[in-house]
Amino acid sequence: MNPGTTRIILPPPQPHRPRGSRVPRWVWGVVVIVALTCGAWGGWHFGTAGRGGPPGSVVTSGNPPAEAAKADEQIAVKISDARQAVASGDWLAARRLFEEVRDIDPDNPDALASLPLIDRRLDEARGTVRVDATPAGTLVRLGSMKEQPAPAIFTGVPFGEHDLVVTLEGHDPVTRTVVVASEEPLVLSDIALVRSSGQIEVVSEPRGAEFKVVRTRESEPEELVEIGKTPAKIERLDPGEYQVFMSVAGFPEQSQIVRVEHNRNTSVSAVFAKGGINLTSDPAGAEVWIAPADDGKAKARKAGVTPVSVADLPAGRHLLELRYADWPPIRRTVEVAAGSTQDLEFAWERSLVSFTSDPPGAEVYLDDRRVGRGREVTPFQIEMPEGDYRFRAVHAKLGAVEETLYVGSDSGDSASAANAVNFRFPYGSITLESRPPGAAVVSAGMPMGRTPLTLAVVPPGDYTFELSKEQHRAATVSGKVEPGGALHFDATLTYDPAPVTSRNFKNGLGREMVWIGELKGWAGAYEVTQEEYERLGGANPSYFKAPNHPVDSVNWFEAVKFCESLNAHEQALGTLPSGYRYRLPTDEEWGKLVGGQKLDGAISSLFERQKSTAPVGSLAPNEYGLYDVRGNVWEWVSDWYSQTIVTRIQKDGATPNPEWVGTDRKVLRGGAWNRSGQFDLAVGNRMGASPSSKDRYDVGFRVVLMRD
């Protein structure tokens, strides 16, 4: 081997990139040159001495000299090329060339000296790879290094071959082999991903079915892609999962999930065919309801009443339900064949069932449906299909009880007896009597009737009843009713003539007292008459004497004395309510009980001149039922004519007389038969008179019954 041909030239200087303890590239160049020089010298020295040939020659036992010369020439060329690869920094090429030299001459000293050094250099060498790709969002993966979005820069890439994969959803991936053979950055900028696409062909029989194509993800709708009618071809679809729906009027909707792949044609087809069924039932008259068996959202439709023919049914499975009265329905799944009609028969095995209860009058239910035609109560009979049943009977007063029964086939009297249900309710009875009879009975706030009263059917439990009768003290009775037992109550009510609050009543003089809720007391329906006054007061002071006319010419003290006599009289009769007493009304009370009484309902001389008082109650009452609150005679009240009265008169829009304040005058209200002026007859007007005045033939009074 010629030593001059074995010199290796160092590669051009590279930019220095510090990396820990890495050996600089110039050092590696010197080391390799020294290794080549040593190898060349060794080859010359030992080759000449040992084999007698020229340095670097390949002497193989048995090889002709011509072949040896040719091998020497190949080795020289490859070593020269390897030297140039080292000089240019192409260490991979240098390694490959030296490997080829070893293949020719396994003992070649140049290869043996250089390969270990080149391998160490390659182990340490790293490169940089930059990948630019479109469109945006592209992901780049180089060998086993971490995936990056484009533009991607991979540093520290070992020298050698690496798989480059560029991907983006909806696009065809790009795969390349990248060779890193230099520390100079390797830039790949010509990568452009092409969008993937496929197509779906939609066909149906018959043609013209409506369709829609929906993009899905994990079987969930994501985006509506296309709607139309078959046949149709939807092109340029992104690869992925799609759901295709097709429908024809009168048929259940069909759907398929398909997958679109790049450059693939996917076909979806549906067949809409029809058939029919003829249905009969025993007994006839059953309602037929039909729904598609494979469409859980479809509602059943009524197809008719047996016997019935149902044509134009979509081919496929259908749910049939036959309903008859309140019988358990018959349900079947039938397969309708395209282009044919099949005959179907259905029958209920049935028997006559008797329903009774103790007490009678119960409604009977099966599940939530009332047995019978919706109006029967026990006892009654109906025909029912054979089978096991749990019936529930509901009684309006006693609640519900349940019974089970197996309804067998009808076969004589024994079967009829077996097909019977008797509901037994637990109950008892209550009888209530009173002396005197006619007492109102109330339990838990509910009126029950009047004595004598029999409650023939009551649930077991504790009962309390209140018995009341007018002018009698109420009584309370209680007891417990056992199942099958009977309670009897006989109450004695004590007579109590005292009036009841909130109700009108007639007092001991026979005059009606009217309850005024706002005052929480009673007012006399009429002014005190001459007849009433004579009964308690003795003499009759009236100028216009007539029993049913109001008493007149009575002074304030005599009116008060009458009230005291009336209290004593009523108390003796037992008709004076406890805590109440008769008296003259106050001015404020009179202002409320006058109500909305108008002058056209008053005995006065406003419209035509009157000659005397009139019988009490001659004209209509006010809204409370009080007569003559305006007109006929002035009515004494208990108040003195004071500044308070003056203020009230002004507030009511009338004209007061301040000179009467502080004088010995009591207040009179309501006007009289002989008054014709609006001033005198005004509701807000008050007359003032001495309480001892006896010469007033236009003055009387009215009593009220109020709490003390």
pLDDT at 19 > cutoff 50: no
- Which of 386, 408, 424 is the endpoint of a domain? 424
| Same domain flag for 594 and 637 | yes
In this predicted structure, what is the pLDDT of residue 36?
Answer: 56
Q: Tell me how far apart the alpha carbons of residues 323 and 348 are, in angstroms, rounded to a whole number.
A: 11
- Residue 161 half-sphere exposure, CB side, CA atoms within 13 Å? 3
Q: Which residues pair with 278 in a beta bridge?
A: 309, 343
Q: Tell me how far apart the alpha carbons of residues 105 and 60 are, in angstroms, rounded to a whole number.
A: 10
pLDDT at 61 > cutoff 80: no
Tens digit of pLDDT for each residue in 315-364?
Answer: 888 888 989 876 778 888 888 887 788 889 988 878 888 999 999 999 99
With beta carbons less than 8 A apart as the criterion, state whether 202 and 270 touch: no
In this predicted structure, what is the pLDDT of residue 29?
Answer: 55
497 in any annotated domain: no
Higher pLDDT, 659 or 67: 659
The band of 368, judged by pLDDT with boundaries at 50, 70 and 90, is confident
- The sign of the torsion formed by the CA atoms of 407, 409, 410, 413 equals negative
Q: Tell me how far apart the alpha carbons of residues 87 and 74 are, in angstroms, rounded to a whole number.
A: 20
pLDDT at 17 > cutoff 60: no
Share of the chain above pLDDT 70, in %: 89
The band of 25, judged by pLDDT with boundaries at 50, 70 and 90, is low
| Same domain flag for 628 and 670 | yes
Report helix angle 65-88 to 109-124, nearest 10.
30
Report the SS3 class of residue 100. helix
In this predicted structure, what is the pLDDT of residue 563?
Answer: 96
In this predicted structure, what is the pLDDT of residue 11?
Answer: 41
Report the SS3 class of residue 678. helix
Tens digit of pLDDT for each residue in 193-236?
Answer: 888 788 899 998 888 899 999 999 888 888 898 999 999 999 88
80 in any annotated domain: yes
In this predicted structure, what is the pLDDT of residue 351?
Answer: 84
Cα–Cα separations (whole angstroms), residue 157 to 26, 28, 90, 147: 21, 20, 15, 14
The band of 28, judged by pLDDT with boundaries at 50, 70 and 90, is low
In this predicted structure, what is the pLDDT of residue 337?
Answer: 83
Tens digit of pLDDT for each residue in 402-433?
Answer: 999 988 865 555 555 678 999 999 999 999 99
The CATH code of the domain that includes 666 is 3.90.1580.10
- Which of 296, 326, 347 is the endpoint of a domain? 347
In this predicted structure, what is the pLDDT of residue 495?
Answer: 75
386 in any annotated domain: yes
**Hey, what amino acid is at 422?**
N
pLDDT at 59 > cutoff 70: no
In this predicted structure, what is the pLDDT of residue 588?
Answer: 96
500 in any annotated domain: no
The full 3-state SS of 264-314, as one line of letters, equals: CEEEEEEECCEEEEEEEEECCCCEEEEEECCCCCCCCEEEEECCEEEEEEE
Asked which of 294-303, 433-442, 650-659, 688-697 is least confident by mean pLDDT, the reply is 294-303
Segments of 147-209 assigned E as strands: 148-149, 152-158, 160-167, 174-180, 186-192, 198-205
Give the mean pLDDT of 587-595: 96
User: How many Å is the Cα radius of gyration of the chain?
Assistant: 61
In the numeric block, which tokens belong to residue 290?
A: 């039909």
Long-range contacts (CB closer than 8 Å, 24 or more residues apart) made by 540-543: 541/694, 542/697, 543/697
50 Rama class: left (phi>0) / alpha (psi -120 to 50) / beta: alpha
Mean pLDDT comparison of 79-83, 295-299, 381-385, 696-700, highest-scoring range: 696-700
In this predicted structure, what is the pLDDT of residue 24?
Answer: 55
pLDDT at 23 > cutoff 90: no
The CATH code of the domain that includes 301 is 2.60.40.10
pTM summary value: 0.39
In this predicted structure, what is the pLDDT of residue 72?
Answer: 86
pLDDT at 536 > cutoff 90: yes
| Same domain flag for 75 and 102 | yes
pLDDT at 1 > cutoff 50: no
Cα–Cα separations (whole angstroms), residue 656 to 214, 643, 670, 679: 93, 10, 15, 10
Domain range enclosing 394: 350-424
The band of 55, judged by pLDDT with boundaries at 50, 70 and 90, is very low
pLDDT at 52 > cutoff 70: no
In this predicted structure, what is the pLDDT of residue 125?
Answer: 77
- Which of 192, 218, 242 is the endpoint of a domain? 192
Share of the chain above pLDDT 90, in %: 45
The CATH code of the domain that includes 410 is 2.60.40.1120
672 in any annotated domain: yes
- Backbone φ and ψ for 626, nearest 5 degrees, come out as -100, 135
294 in any annotated domain: yes
| Same domain flag for 578 and 699 | yes
**Mean pLDDT over the full length of the chain:** 85
Element at 332 (helix H, strand E): strand 330-336
Residue 505 CB neighbour total at 10 angstroms: 19
In this predicted structure, what is the pLDDT of residue 220?
Answer: 87
**Domains in the chain, number:** 7
Q: Tell me how far apart the alpha carbons of residues 347 and 369 are, in angstroms, rounded to a whole number.
A: 21
Give the mean pLDDT of 571-597: 93
498 in any annotated domain: no
| Same domain flag for 483 and 521 | no
| Same domain flag for 682 and 563 | yes
Cα–Cα separations (whole angstroms), residue 261 to 156, 192, 197, 216, 310: 37, 20, 7, 14, 44
| Same domain flag for 512 and 470 | no
Tens digit of pLDDT for each residue in 262-285?
Answer: 778 888 888 878 888 998 988 888
In this predicted structure, what is the pLDDT of residue 5?
Answer: 37
Tens digit of pLDDT for each residue in 608-637?
Answer: 999 999 999 999 999 999 999 999 999 999
With beta carbons less than 8 A apart as the criterion, state whether 602 and 628 touch: yes
- Residue 87 half-sphere exposure, CB side, CA atoms within 13 Å? 9
586 in any annotated domain: yes
